[in-house]
């Protein structure tokens, strides 16, 4: 991760110590209407080539297009809940409004801090539990996008065995697993779908351990799988490395990882499940900038292109019509995708 600039706000200086690898604070310099936005990333932060980076892309677009000022900080693996709370409080105390929390792990912190600062607007990505008039919940139909890449895996497998590597076994990541397995079995009822998780809550290290991701995927490839889908944040890079070593294929997540992953592993990426966090972040900030502050649940599904699949690399061009047919059936309600394994 490249070194990021300090914000010039003394009370936010402590946030840089909360980040990892080269600093974690970044100040934008837009003028606009004076909107100051604080973004609290999950473990991995900007540069994870996945979930956090997608949120960062939305923030960057808002900074450029809306002329806002921004400040960033990221969580550290294994930190106490109090550290997340203090990160949000520090943003609020420094006049950042709104404050965006990236990831469900911030749920209890957002719920608590939002009550302490009723005049500050908060948004949280991937969580519906934190509720208040000043909280917007930006959530996605991950199971629907995962269904499509599961169908792609089943259409492309040569061994009739595919795998899924989840970062942390939570209800959210289980949505990815459930949709992926359902999509694969819709194409080939007899297909074998292996699944594993890298850590169990409250241990969230599974989102930032590429070595563990590589080991887990390698085991699946050794047992006969030829395509592995990862929903593991920064650990996903290890899954790509394992696929490269095994002369197999992998499926990315959250962003088009054919474009963001290390070039050395790009050729193993069959497709990626797109989760347009960047769109959700930008739309939220655009509404706030326009004076129409969102509150409550905002769900992004296939109907609004909140999720989908990527075609970069051309590896699914020959099955695109079949995938789009499944997509339309989901939109039309002919297929209901499960959210639990």
Q: Over the stretch 96-114, which tens digit does the pLDDT of each residue have? A: 999 999 999 999 999 999 9
What pLDDT does 127 receive? 96
What pLDDT does 21 receive? 31
Say yes or no: do domains 10-140+277-303 and 142-275+311-331 share a fold: yes
* Domains of the chain, residue spans: 10-140+277-303, 142-275+311-331
Q: How many CA atoms lie within 13 A of 11 on its CB side?
A: 11
Average pLDDT of the residues of the chain: 90
Q: Over the stretch 16-63, which tens digit does the pLDDT of each residue have? A: 333 333 333 433 333 346 899 999 999 888 988 888 999 999 999 999
The two tokens of residue 3 are 């070194």
Distance CA 80, CA 201 (A): 13
Q: What is the dihedral of CA 333, 303, 42, 12, to 10 degrees?
A: -140
Distance CA 63, CA 119 (A): 22
**CATH placement of domain 10-140+277-303:** 3.40.50.2300
> In this structure, are strands 307-309 and 269-275 parallel, antiparallel, or unpaired?
antiparallel
Is pLDDT above 80 for 159? yes
Which CATH number does the domain 142-275+311-331 belong to among 3.40.1180.10, 3.30.530.20, 3.40.50.2300, 3.40.220.10?
Answer: 3.40.50.2300
> By three-state DSSP, how is residue 28 classified?
coil
Q: Over the stretch 225-276, which tens digit does the pLDDT of each residue have? A: 999 999 999 899 999 999 999 999 999 999 899 998 999 999 999 999 999 9
Q: What is the DSSP string of 42-75?
A: -TT-TTSSSHHHHHHHHHHHHHHHH--EEEEEE-
What pLDDT does 77 receive? 81
Q: How many beta carbons lie within 10 A of that of residue 102, not counting itself?
A: 30
């Amino acid at each position: 991760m490249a070194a990021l600039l300090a914000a010039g706000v003394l009370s936010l200086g402590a946030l840089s110590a909360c980040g990892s690898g080269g600093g974690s604070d970044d100040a934008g310099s837009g003028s606009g209407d004076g909107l100051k936005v604080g973004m609290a990333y999950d473990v991995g932060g900007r540069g994870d080539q996945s979930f956090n980076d997608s949120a960062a892309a939305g923030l960057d677009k808002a900074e450029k297009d809306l002329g806002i000022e921004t400040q960033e900080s990221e969580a550290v693996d294994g930190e106490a809940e109090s550290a997340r709370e203090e990160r949000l409080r520090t943003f609020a105390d420094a006049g950042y409004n709104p404050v965006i929390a990236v990831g469900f792990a911030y749920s209890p912190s957002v719920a608590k801090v939002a009550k302490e600062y009723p005049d500050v607007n908060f948004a949280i990505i991937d969580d519906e539990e934190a509720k208040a008039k000043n909280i917007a919940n930006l959530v996605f139909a991950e199971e629907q996008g995962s269904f499509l890449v599961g169908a792609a895996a089943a259409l492309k497998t040569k061994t009739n065995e595919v795998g899924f590597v989840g970062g942390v076994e939570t209800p959210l990541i289980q949505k990815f697993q459930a949709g992926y397995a359902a999509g694969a079995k819709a194409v080939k009822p007899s297909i074998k779908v292996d699944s594993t998780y890298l850590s169990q809550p409250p241990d969230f290290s599974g989102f930032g351990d590429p070595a563990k991701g590589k080991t887990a995927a390698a085991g699946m490839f050794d047992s006969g799988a030829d395509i592995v889908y990862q929903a593991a944040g920064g650990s996903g890079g290890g899954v790509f490395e394992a696929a490269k070593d095994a002369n197999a294929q992998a499926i990315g997540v959250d962003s088009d990882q054919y474009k963001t992953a290390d070039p050395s592993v790009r050729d193993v990426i069959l497709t990626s499940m797109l989760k347009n966090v960047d769109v959700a972040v930008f739309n939220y900030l655009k509404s706030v900038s326009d004076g129409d502050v969102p509150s409550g649940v905002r769900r992004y599904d296939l109907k609004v292109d909140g999720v989908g699949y990527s075609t970069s690399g051309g590896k699914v061009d020959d099955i695109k019509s079949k995938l789009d047919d499944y997509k339309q059936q989901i939109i039309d309600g002919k297929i209901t995708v499960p959210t639990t394994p």
